[in-house]
Amino acid sequence: MTSAALQAKLDELLRLPAETEWVEFKHNNDNPQEIGEYLSALSNGAALHGKRTAYLVWGIEDDTHAVLGTTFRPKRAKKGNEDLESWLVRQLSPRIDFTVHEFERNGTPVVLFAVQAANSTPVRFSGEAFIRVGSYKKKLQDFPEKERRLWQVLSESPEDWSAQVVKGATLADLDPDALAFARTQYRQKHAQQAAEVDAWDDPTFLNKTKVCVGGKITRAALLLLGKPESAHLLSPAQAQITWVLRDEKKLEKDYKHFDLPLILAGDKVLQRVRNLTVRQLPSGTLFPHEVTQYDPWVMRETLHNCIAHQDYTKGGRITVVETPDTLLFTNLGSFIPGTVEEMIRSDAPPEVYRNPFLAQAMVNLNMIDTIGSGIKRMFTRQRERSFPMPDYELDDPKKVAVRLTGQVLDENYTQLLLSQTELDLMDVIALDKVQKKRPVDEESFKRLKALKLIEGRRPNLFVSARIAAATGDKAAYIKNRAFDKQHYKDMVVAYLEKFREATRAELDALLVGKLSDVLEDKQKRLFIMNLLQEMKREGLIAPEGSRRWTRWRLHNPRV
C-alpha cells in the first residue's frame, strides 16, 4: 500500500464502532504465539463475514481507538534465531498471505498486518484453528456452530453445482427404467396432473419437473436418472452409495456399491437392510404388537436427504452402515442449517442449500418431503412408533451423520414418554437425550425440571419418580435416586456396633455399592467423606489415630 492508502485504511478501521471478528487493535503485545493465533482467528473471521482481508493493528487503544503508538517492530523481531515474519508463515496452515506495514500517524508509530481471508479450509496456527467470538480469540473447535458455518462458507460454490448443464450429455445417457419410475412418482406427487403427464414426451417431462433446463441435461438429471455408464460425465464427483454390514464387534461382514441412477438406488440399498421385527407390549394390555426396527419412510427420507445434500465436489461416496441395532447414514458436507433443533423449532426451509436445484427436483419427483419439513416429520414418526429419536452426529464439520436406533432403549419409559400429549416435540427430543445420557441445553434442562420429568444434577440426569412410578420402572428409579442420608448413617452405625471400628477403606467398601448409579466413583467417595464428617458433628462417631491411620468408632457405643 502507498502511504496515502495506509492512512486511508487506518481511518476506515478507526471509524468502526468496535472491534469486529476480522479486525483487532493492539498496543504493544509482541508475543509471537499470540500474534500467530490472531492471524488464524482473523483470517477465519474474515472468511466467515465475507471479507477478503482482515487487519491486525498495533498502536491503537482497544476501547477508544485512540492512536497511542507502539514499540513493536515486526520487521526486526525474531523468534529464536528466525525472523518473526518467516516463523509465522511457516506455522500457518494452509499458508496465507499477510503483509506487514510500519508507518506513522502524526509522528506516532503504527503497525498494520493485512491478512488474507481463509479461502479453502480454516487457517490453523501451530496445528490449531482459532476464531474471534466478539472481541475474544477462541479455539475454533470449541464453537462447533461457527466451525460448521465456516466450512459451509468455504465450500460454497458461486453457482449451484447440481444445476450446471453437462456438456455432451443427451437423453441417451438417461436410464429408461429410471425415467418410467420418475413419471410414476411425479403422478403420485401431483395427482391432479396425472392425465397431462401421460401426454408429455421425455424432454417436456424433464423440463416440467425441473430436472433439466431448456431440454439440456443437468448434473441433477444425471445423478437421479443417469445410466451407470454415464457416471464418468460427473467426474470427479463419485455418484455412488455404499452399504456396509457390520456385526456386534464392528467387523465388516458384507458390503455393496450402488451406482446411478440414484432414484432407483435408494430402494435397492434399503432392501439390503435387515429390518427385523421387534415385539412391544403396550401399556394396559397383555397382547404384544409387532413393528419393524426401522420405519421405511424414515429410512428413505434419511438416505434421500444424503443424496440431496451431499457435497459432490469432495469426490466421496454416501455410506449406509448397518449394525445389529443401528443404521448410520453419512454424506459429505457440513450441516448448513446449524442445528437440528433450530430446523425443527422454526419448521421452515433453511435460508441456504448446498444443491437447491437437485433438492427441488427430488421434491418434485416425490423423493424427499417438502424442503425443510422432512427432518421434523422424521422425529415425529419416531415418536409415534415409541422409538428413540434420530441422532444427528455433527462433530465433524466436513460431514453429516444420522444414526437410527432400531431398538427400544427403555420400553416402559419410552411408551409413556411418547404418549404424553402435553409434551411438544422439543420436550421429547430433550428427554430422549436424557434417556441416552447425553447433555441437554440450559433451556431444555430448566423446562424438564419444571415439568418434573427429570431429576439429578447435570450431567447425571435421570428419569423422575413421576415417570418411573407410572411405567412400573420403580426399581431402576430407586437405583438411580439414592436413599436418604439416614439410611446410610444407620448402615455405618450397625457396622460399628458389630465390628467396633472401621477404616475409611472399609466404610467405602460398605457404602459405595449402595450409592446411586448416577454418581461417578469420585462423587460417591466425596459423599461418604461428607457423611462421616456430618455424623462426627452430630456426635454419632469419632475418629481415632493419625490422619493416615484413622479408625472410626461409635462415640457412645452400646454396652
Rounded to a whole number of angstroms, the CA Rg of the chain reads 32
**Residue 281 domain-assigned?**
yes
HSE value, Cβ hemisphere, 13 Å, CA-based, for 525? 6
Asked whether the beta carbons of 269 and 243 are under 8 A apart, the reply is yes
Is residue 109 located within the same domain as residue 33? yes
Which of residues 432, 449, 466 is at a domain's end? 449
Nearest CA among 76, 71, 57, 45 for reference residue 15: 57
- The domain that holds 548 is classified in CATH as 1.10.10
Predicted pLDDT at 472: 55
The three-state DSSP-derived secondary structure of 211-249 is: CCECCECEHHHHHHHECHHHHHHHCCCCCCEEEEEECCC
Is residue 401 located within the same domain as residue 523? no
Predicted pLDDT at 154: 78
Distances 487 to 223, 280, 531, 536, 556 between C-alpha atoms, Å:
67, 37, 11, 16, 19
Round to whole Å and give the CA distance between 147 and 43: 13
**Residue 237 domain-assigned?**
no
190: amino acid identity, one letter: H
- The domain that holds 47 is classified in CATH as 3.30.950
Number of domains in the chain: 3
Can you read off the three cell numbers belonging to residue 297?
Answer: 419412510
What are the 10-residue block averages of pLDDT along the chain, 559 residues in total? 86 82 89 95 92 92 88 92 91 87 93 89 90 89 83 69 92 97 94 91 94 93 98 93 96 97 97 87 56 94 95 93 97 80 71 80 90 83 87 87 88 57 79 87 86 82 65 58 76 91 92 78 87 91 83 78
**Residue 479 domain-assigned?**
no
**Residue 286 domain-assigned?**
yes
Is residue 263 located within the same domain as residue 332? yes
Can you read off the three cell numbers belonging to residue 414?
Answer: 419410552
Ramachandran quadrant class, 471 (left: phi over 0; alpha: psi -120 to 50; beta: rest): alpha
Is residue 384 located within the same domain as residue 495? no
Is residue 86 located within the same domain as residue 149? yes
Distances 375 to 118, 270, 301, 548 between C-alpha atoms, Å:
32, 19, 8, 59
Is residue 412 located within the same domain as residue 498? no
**Residue 292 domain-assigned?**
yes
Is residue 492 located within the same domain as residue 412? no
- The domain that holds 443 is classified in CATH as 3.30.565
Is residue 261 located within the same domain as residue 145? no
Which of residues 403, 425, 449 is at a domain's end? 449
Sign of CA dihedral 208, 214, 216, 222: negative
- Cα end-to-end span (Å), the chain: 95
Predicted pLDDT at 69: 93
How many CB atoms within 10 Å of residue 514? 12
**Residue 459 domain-assigned?**
no
Is residue 406 located within the same domain as residue 534? no
Which of residues 122, 155, 188 is at a domain's end? 155
Is residue 316 located within the same domain as residue 428? yes
Distances 231 to 106, 218, 242 between C-alpha atoms, Å:
64, 13, 15
Nearest CA among 216, 103, 107 for reference residue 169: 216
The verdict on pTM exceeding 0.75 is: no
Is residue 307 located within the same domain as residue 435? yes
Is residue 27 located within the same domain as residue 91? yes
Query: Residue 305 belongs to what domain range?
Result: 246-336+371-449
**Residue 195 domain-assigned?**
no
Predicted pLDDT at 469: 58
Round to whole Å and give the CA distance between 204 and 119: 40
**Residue 260 domain-assigned?**
yes
CA dihedral 539, 541, 545, 551 (to 10 degrees): -170
Predicted pLDDT at 220: 97
SS3 342: helix
Element (H, E) at 460: strand 460-463
SS3 367: coil
SS3 57: strand
